A and B are shown apart, each in its own frame.
Chain A
Amino acid sequence: DAKTTQPNSMESNEEEPVHLPCNHSTISGTDYIHWYRQLPSQGPEYVIHGLTSNVNNRMASLAIAEDRKSSTLILHRATLRDAAVYYCILSMAAGNKLTFGGGTRVLVKP
Chain B
Amino acid sequence: SQTIHQWPATLVQPVGSPLSLECTVEGTSNPNLYWYRQAAGRGLQLLFYSVGIGQISSEVPQNLSASRPQDRQFILSSKKLLLSDSGFYLCAWSPGQASYEQYFGPGTRLTVT
Contact = CB atoms under 8 A, between A and B. Distances in A.
Interface in B55-113: 59, 90, 92, 94, 98-107, 109
B43 A96 contact: no
Contact of B99 (A36, A42, A96): A96
Given A98-B46, A100-B45, A102-B43, A43 B100 contact: no
Interface string A23-48: 00000000010101000011111100
Category for how many chain A residues contact B: 20 to 34
A43 B105 contact: yes
Contacts of A97: 34, 46, 49, 59
Interface string A61-104: 00000000000000000000000000100000111111111110
B32 interface: yes
B11 interface: no
A41 B44 CA distance: 13
Contacts of A96: 32, 94, 98-100, 102
A99 B46 contact: yes
Contact of A46 (B59, B103, B105, B107): B103
Category for how many chain B residues contact A: 20 to 34
Given A96-B32, A97-B49, A44 B98 contact: no
A42 B107 contact: yes
A100 B106 CA distance: 17
Contacts of B99: 96
11 contacts: A36-B102, A43-B90, A43-B92, A46-B103, A87-B44, A96-B100, A96-B102, A97-B34, A99-B46, A100-B43, A102-B43
The 9 closest A-B pairs by CB, nearest first: A43-B104, A100-B44, A100-B43, A94-B98, A46-B101, A49-B100, A43-B90, A93-B98, A44-B104
Interface of A: 32, 34, 36, 41-46, 49, 87, 93-103
Given A93-B98, A96-B32, A102-B42, 19 more contacts: A32-B100, A36-B102, A42-B107, A43-B92, A43-B104, A44-B92, A44-B102, A45-B104, A46-B102, A49-B100, A87-B43, A96-B94, A96-B99, A97-B46, A97-B59, A99-B46, A100-B36, A100-B44, A101-B43
